[in-house]
Structure 1
Amino acid sequence: MPAWLAARLWQQRARLALWLPVAMGAGNAAYFSLSREPGPLWVVVAIMICAIGAGLLRWRGGLLRTRIGVGLSCAACCGFLAAWGGAHRAAPFPDLPRRATHIEGQVMSVEDLPSPTGAMVRRVDLAHVRLRDGIDADMPPMRRTIRLRLRTDDAPGGDAQQGAQRITPGRWLTVRAMLRPPMPPDLPGGYDAQRRAWFTGIGGSARALEAPRIRDAGPNDNGPGDAGPGDAGLRDGGGAAWLEDARTRIARRIMGVLPDGRGAMAATLLTGRGGDVSPRMRADFADSGLAHLLAVAGLHLGIVMGIGMAVTRGALALSERASLFWPCRQIAAVAGLGLGCGYVVLTGGHLPAQRSLVMAAIATLAILTGRRVVSLRSLALAAAMLLLIEPEEMQELPMQMSVAAVMALIAGGEACAASLRALRDAPVAWHRMAGRIARLVLASVLAGTACLPVGMAHFGNVGAWFVLANLIAVPLAALWIMPFGLLALMLMPFGLDGLALVPMGWGNAVVIWLAHHVAAWPGAHVAVPRMPSWGLALFFAGLCWLCLWTLRSWRLWGCVLIASALVTPWLARPPDLVIPAQGRMVALRDGGRLLAGPRGHVDRFIVDDWTRVLDLAAGELSDDTVTPDGRVACRAGTCVLVRHHRHIIVQLHEGGGEIACAQADFVVSLGVDRAPCPGVPRIDPLVLWRSGAQALYVNRDGGIGVLSDRATRGTRPWVMGPGQHGTPNLPMARAE
């Protein structure tokens, strides 16, 4: 190691430990980026690296290069091993029947959600699911959860609501339904819902075809051979059923006092149930940068804990003995953490709230031990714990946004601490007021700017007015909405909750009005191409480099990496033709439009996802579509796409028009048993069955490249086999 580099690193020795969770995240990302599942040799090598590293630290631990090299390599291996272990602890996907089947399972949770038509739909998660038809009738229960969607008439407000309202956790449900496995991405490189389902224990979804039959748990239900981890509370429906019933009653009480969007927002904040929030309201909150207010996570938990700490500290201050002899600050911190735990349980214990609770517990521990509460070391410790406990969450949006926002807030606060302190201690009143406003503006700018690239990677859009919206909405939520919400929960047993819910509704109305108007401003929702995964990795590398060092000359290189990451969405060329895995439709790119067809087979959800990810406008591809430049021409169900003097023939359905095979450089056939033009490269139903979604690119030199979903995701435990078939739920033979 050069002497100048060693001297600089020695100056930054207090920051070196912060790079350990960064290395763990790199090992985590390395595991998920592999195209094949690593074999036992990879795992043995990673374990040996950790063991050898421990020996090197004991032997040559005094050398700086040894500490850095061993620490980073061992941390990366730990992140890799945690991700590998999490993937292999999960049960395999069941092979679900593709016909109407009677299923029976135990209710784990119930949630009411709005459908695209605006009607309410009840969603039920079922555990210990058994198939009651055919060969599967006497098989053991599934080891994964099935997510059942009831009919619209069975949801609250329908004709069958009396039976639907009896669905509570712990009870058993039997229904005739259509089952479907977790679906693969509709675009190679798109969001992997199968990976998400693999780690969250979801085995598939179901759509009810009739009203469900409900019964209480019997003595033979959920026996010792059937029970899974964490199911003890569901055997008699005790604690889980009581909690679910309490959340339901609280939400109904809130909606009875505040029946419109104000009540939907209040029910979301106090119970975690967002089913009453309309799609229009969700869109307004997303476009205005206020979507985090409708997702119970770190912000809400911090407000609740802050209120609990302030009330406890104020109550203890009323006693002279407590003020003089008791550790009031520590007692208030423990009380705030307890209140936060209760709030997380009441709101459903969602994963973002659980992650925030882990960080809150670390902050409370810092208060009890006299350490700094908000620091990059606390964030590093929390991130390392989460990477070990939930390694898969590092690939998901909530975790990425939380880490980016908190890191930017802490590092930005450290950089501006002297200026903010000078304003806070200024003798002039308006200077002190300017300091308070500056803190709010700085927090909104730092957190919002750090989350923008993450939104570009997951949503394909950016907003320009998030700073102004959050500058008003967040203080209002902290100082008015949540305090009155907690007061309403305390008054609810006495029937006096209306005294607090009405003022809470006033604050909610202001936030809803703000979101609606800010979302309508120009630039509130700007669509951009989706950032590739390697661009997002480059952004996080730059953000860590910018935030974790203290040397200004080093920090500037982080800005270079971030700027490079922000241009990556425009470096990738969109495909010229895309086909989803189900193979019933195709989309051709015509300049800035994406023409989808054939008519009657277009899935609007898939098209909306394509246009959002590729930043293209949606268009229609019919049997007689002809573009002005002639690059897309359809006749009698057969289309010709011309790109760089290459002709791609697309047969939309059986019995299409004549195909000029002599001019065909590539053939795409949908739902056609006998593929035309033998010898010509093609995409047909068999290719889609084997490889999933397809994307076709025509290069400037005339070369035609095809990227498939299977080639992108590789052979991993969560990637289902051809035809999206899982593991049969049958007893294995002795040889197997």
Structure 2
Amino acid sequence: METRAGNVRAEPKSPRLGPAVFATFARQQSHLFPWVPVCLGAGIGLYFAASSEPVTWHLIMLAATLSALWLVAYAFGQHRGRWVSVTLWLLTLVLVGTTVASLRAKAVAAPVLSYRYYGPIEGRIVSIDKSASEKMRLTLDHVRLSRVPPHRTPLRVRVSLHGDDLGIDFAPGDTVLTTGHLGPPAGPVEPGGFDFQRHLWFQQLGALGYTRNPMLRLEPAGRAQGFSLWLYTFRLSLSAAIKARMSDEEGPFAAAIITGDRADLDPQLLDRLRASNLAHLLAISGLHMGLLTGAVFALIRIGLSTVPQLAVRLNLRKVAAVGALFAAVLYLGVSGANVATQRAFIMVTVMLLAICVERPALSLRAVAIAAFIVLIITPEALVGPGFQMSFAATTALVAVFAVIRDRGLFLILPKWLSGAAALLLSSFIAGAATAPYGAAHFNQVAQYGLLANLLSVPVMGLVVMPGALLAGCLAPLGLEGIGLWGMELGLAWILRVADLVSGLDGSTRAIVAPGPAVLPLVTLGGLMLCIWQGAGRLVGLVPVIVAFGLWQNVERPEVLISETGRLIGIVQNEERALNKPKGDGFSARVWLENDGDTADQAQAATRAGFSPNHIRTQVAGSTLGFNAANPEKIDISEACASHDIVVLPRVESKLPEDCAGWTALDFSEGGAVAIYTTETGLRYENSRSRQGNRLWVSHQRKRTQ
């Protein structure tokens, strides 16, 4: 301390944090923006993980309070106070994320059918596709159901057509009528499993069903059907034209990557693509949007550079970026503008606009802006595999190549080799970044996926997408066949690669489903590795290692019972044995996949020789009795006396209080059941208890009759 002219000047005190730690945090100040969508996503994740619906105005008030505190800390804070303001800012973003998700869930609220309905179904066709069982499926709006008041009628329903001859050729916009079955969306097939009710809630699909009766056209699509239906009709006609000009395998593949129409894709072809890790080529996502806009960008820039007058007067990069953005808008419309395509469009738009304002196109800031926009518009995308995998790949690629660029690592390689090295490295990074999410959502890993992608992705970028662009440019002249011919050659190569790789021994490996903490920990660790500045980013390895340790020791239920109560799966000799080879097939398939089991339902039904309707077995020392026979022949008192746990899926009454088990009434109220073995005995869970009291569950419970 020294004195000058009566004034005392104190030397600034060192922060309490150690100098190295403080320097590390200070280094993050100019790299905080990428954490904005991370915190927003954390808040959205908390909303979906909550066991009850939060009160939105409480969230808004709390976010406003934190915002005020942040402003105060930002205005007056120095050193430690500065980091207090940063902490408050990040917490505010978390609350904003939770609030945005809550508002979105309420904004899409629509009636959900809460009982089994049979009768007339009338509506306007807004979507035509196929179910997993290859049945044609129609999504209807403007729905009318007999004896159901309009204010309780779902905004949209989806009807599968079962039968060989159900009447007419359908077109979007047609108003149709049939008689069929409808019911509410089913809950998770096991506690903690994928929540179909939540998924369909955000699509405003309030009932699913089928019909075996002819579908009658009451009114054909009119001219005033709206732009969205007109565009959908155009897409279907374009898809039909593409498939008519190409072979039976390549045609549906081309239609899928141009228009998003997968209706005629061969299921076996899909299996081969999944086994070779090439199924992502079907999704109109960042790869396709990037390849198309990149091709347009390059063509415009190269074309204009051949004209000296324009090359001198114009900024060719900006002109090419604007042209590529226009192409992206067209592709967004032609491809159907689904959520994955919207996400890809936003990412590409952010990067092209960055070029226009002379900012780095490929940066973590650009990726963060794209993620922020997507999460604000569709917060429900966070829990889907598309969002997780696309942003994981993009973030990892941008982060790694930024390090390579800054350190000039590719400069030590010959120019002809650097391109090949970049391709190999990008495929490896994207595969490694998306592998945990793909394995978690799809329960398998393609062992030779890197090989398949190295052989296929360059062909997609250099042959298929330029062919599609050429076909679009030549279509007004009637010469689109030239571009389609090039597309067909490229797609034929990709399909041959898929056949080769999927046919190799051990091409796929089944993976057990992870626990709820695994993916959040992997995401946290990956983000630390990509965003954090300095050597401290290596701390991100810790949550990743913990996540894989938890995954390795994940606990699977000893017993699973379907929502109908008719299918039961019991672990016998470390394999799940099922009680019947058919029925509740979707539940059976998901259970086995989540176990990491490659068997099908028929194979699993032969493992223990269970009877479809009667089972008596031991589960961790307790006797379990399953009886799905005629309820009039079941003596409930005798069943409870002779078993520790009873499962009576056809009995419509409650069990006595001193009897452990479930009846049809319990399954209708609680959904699927899981039984776990613990050190202290058995633990029971049902799907509804894991879902909690959420909008998509509580609306369905409200009876409309």
Q: TM-score normalised to the size of structure 1?
A: 0.87
CA–CA distance in 1 between the matches of 2:540 and 2:172? 51
Q: In the superposition, relative to structure 1, how do residues 246 and 308 fare at CA in structure 2: closer, same or farther (>3 Å)? A: same
Given residue 597 of structure 1, which amino acid in structure 2 is its aligned partner? N
Partner of 1:200: 203
* Counterpart contact for 1:107–1:168, Cα < 8 Å: yes
Identify the residue that residue 623 of structure 2 maps to in structure 1: 647
Residue among 113, 121, 139 paired with 1:125: 139
Q: Distance in 2 between matches of 1:81 and 1:557?
A: 30
Corresponding position: 1:64 with 2:47: no
Q: Does 2:192 correspond to 1:189?
A: yes
Match of 1:222 in 2: none
SS of match in other structure, 2:34? helix
Q: Distance in 2 between matches of 1:621 and 1:288?
A: 25
Contact 2:70 2:88 in 1 (8 A): yes
Task: Determine if contact 1:366/1:373 at 8 Å carries over to the other structure.
Answer: yes
Any unmatched runs of 5+ in structure 1?
219-233, 628-632, 731-736
SS of 2:617's partner is strand
Instruction: State the distance in 1 between where 2:610 and 2:654 align.
Output: 18
Superposition pairs for residues 444-593 of structure 1, below 5 Å?
444-552=427-535, 554-593=536-575
Q: Which residue of 2 aligns with 1:2?
A: 17
Q: Residue 672 of structure 1 aligns to which amino acid in structure 2?
A: V
Structure 2 counterpart of 1:692, from 657, 666, 671: 671
CA apart distance, 1:115: 5.4
Q: Distance in 2 between matches of 1:660 and 1:241?
A: 57
On the 8 A contact 2:620/2:682 being kept in 1, the answer is no
> Aligned match of 2:424 in 418, 441, 444?
441
Give per-residue Cα distances to partners, 1:86-119, cap 9 Å, x unaligned: 11112233326523221222222333x3653xx5
Aligned to 2:644: 665
Q: Hey, what's the Cα distance between the residues in 1 that align with 2:507 and 2:249?
A: 21
Rate the CA distance shift 1:567–1:697 in 2: closer, same or farther, 3 A: same
Report the counterpart of residue 705 of structure 1 in structure 2: 683
* Among candidates 708, 718, 724, match of residue 696 of structure 2: 718
Q: Which amino acid aligns with 2:217?
A: I
* Alpha-carbon distance in structure 1 between the residues aligned to 2:508 and 2:214: 41
Query: Within 5 A, what are the aligned runs for 1:199-598?
Result: 199-216=202-219, 236-417=224-405, 421-424=408-411, 431-552=414-535, 554-598=536-580
Percent identical? 27
AA matched with 1:584: R
Query: Residue 153 of structure 1 aligns to which amino acid in structure 2?
Result: D
Question: Counterpart of 1:603?
Answer: 584
CA distance in 1, matches of 2:601, 2:253: 37
- Residue type of the partner of 2:675? L
Residue of structure 1 in register with 2:160 after alignment: 149
Letter in 2 for 1:148: V
Encode CA deviations 1:142-186: one digit per residue, 9 max, x unaligned: 46221233345358xxxx4xx314x223x3222222112211111
The 10-residue stretch of structure 1 (476-485 or 311-320) with the greater mean CA deviation from structure 2: 311-320
Q: Classify 1:618/1:478 alpha carbon distance in 2 versus 1 (closer, same or farther; 3 Å).
A: closer
- Structure 1 residues 671 and 660 mapped into 2: Cα distance closer, same or farther (>3 Å)? closer
Q: What secondary structure sits across from 1:267 in the alignment?
A: helix
Match of 1:230 in 2: none
Counterparts of 1:235 and 1:91, CA distance in 2:
30
Letter in 2 for 1:718: W
1:129 and 1:518 map into 2 onto residues whose CA distance is: 46
Moved more, 13-22 or 274-283: 13-22
d(CA) in 1 for partners of 2:374, 2:600: 43
Structure 1 residues 340-365: Cα deviation after superposition (integer angstroms, max 9, x where no partner)? 11011101111111011111111122
Asked if residue 107 in structure 1 is aligned to residue 85 in structure 2, the reply is no
CA contact (8 A) 1:24 1:79 kept: yes
Give the Å deviation of 1:694: 0.6
Letter of the structure 2 residue corresponding to residue 667 of structure 1: V
Q: Does residue 44 in structure 1 map to residue 61 in structure 2? A: yes
Tell me how far 1:617 sits from its aligned partner.
5.6
Q: Is the 8 A contact 2:653 2:665 kept in 1?
A: no
Of 78, 83, 86, the match for 2:104: 86
C-alpha deviation, 1:461, in angstroms: 1.5
Shift of 1:663: 5.5
Q: Normalising to structure 2: TM-score of the pair? A: 0.91
C-alpha distance in 2 between matches for 1:648 and 1:694 = 14
Question: 5+ residue gaps in structure 2?
Answer: 1-15
How many residues align? The count is 683
Counterparts of 1:487 and 1:152, CA distance in 2? 41
Asked if 1:35 corresponds to 2:17, the answer is: no
Kept in 2, the 8 Å contact 1:638–1:657? The answer is no
Partner secondary structure for residue 262 of structure 2: coil
For 1:305 and 1:287, locate their aligned partners in 2 and report how far apart those are by CA, in whole Å: 29
CA contact (8 A) 2:654 2:666 kept: no
Corresponding residue of 1:179: 182
Instruction: Return the alpha-carbon distance in structure 2 between the equivalents of residues 197 and 61 of structure 1.
Output: 49
Deviation at 1:720, TM superposition (A): 4.3
Shift of 1:12: 2.6
Change (3 A) 1:104 1:586: same
- How far is the alpha carbon of 1:434 from its aligned partner? 1.9
Q: SS at the partner of 2:209?
A: strand
Residues 128 and 141 in structure 1, CA contact (< 8 A), matched pair in contact too: no
Q: Residues 235 and 317 (structure 1 numbering): CA distance in 2 closer, same or farther, change over 3 Å?
A: same
| 3-state SS of 2:202 partner | helix
What is the CA-CA distance between 1:30 and the residue it aligns to? 1.0
Residues 497-531 of structure 1: per-residue CA shift (max 9 Å, x gap): 22222222111111001011111223321011111
User: Take 2:123 and 2:611, find their aligned partners in 1: how far apart are those partners?
Assistant: 51
Q: Secondary structure at the match of 1:187?
A: coil
Are the structure 2 counterparts of residues 491 and 626 from structure 1 closer, same or farther at C-alpha, using a change threshold of 3 Å? Answer: closer
Q: Deviations over 1:182-226 (max 9, x none)?
A: 1111100000011111112211223233332324479xxxxxxxx
1:27 & 1:678 partners in 2: Cα distance?
Answer: 41
Contact map agreement 2:139 2:157 (CA 8 A) in 1: yes
Q: Distance in 2 between matches of 1:674 and 1:726?
A: 20
Q: Secondary structure at the match of 2:517?
A: helix
Cα distance change on mapping 1:677 and 1:711 into 2, 3 Å: closer
CA contact (8 A) 1:310 1:332 kept: yes
- SS of the aligned residue for 2:23 comes to helix
What is the rounded CA distance, in whole Å, between the counterparts of 2:409 and 2:601 in structure 1? 61
* Cα-to-partner distance string for 1:596-631 (whole Å, 9 max, x where unaligned): 22466x322211110001223658799x9895xxxx
Change (3 A) 1:123 1:634: closer
Letter in 1 for 2:684: V
Cα pair 1:453 1:566 within 8 Å, conserved: no
Tell me if the contact between 1:114 and 1:278 (Cα under 8 Å) persists in the aligned partners. Answer: no
Q: Distance in 1 between matches of 2:544 and 2:25?
A: 22
TM-superposed CA distance for 1:424, in Å, is: 4.8
Q: What is the Cα deviation at residue 274 of structure 1?
A: 1.2
Partner of 2:7: none
Q: Aligned letter for 1:168?
A: P
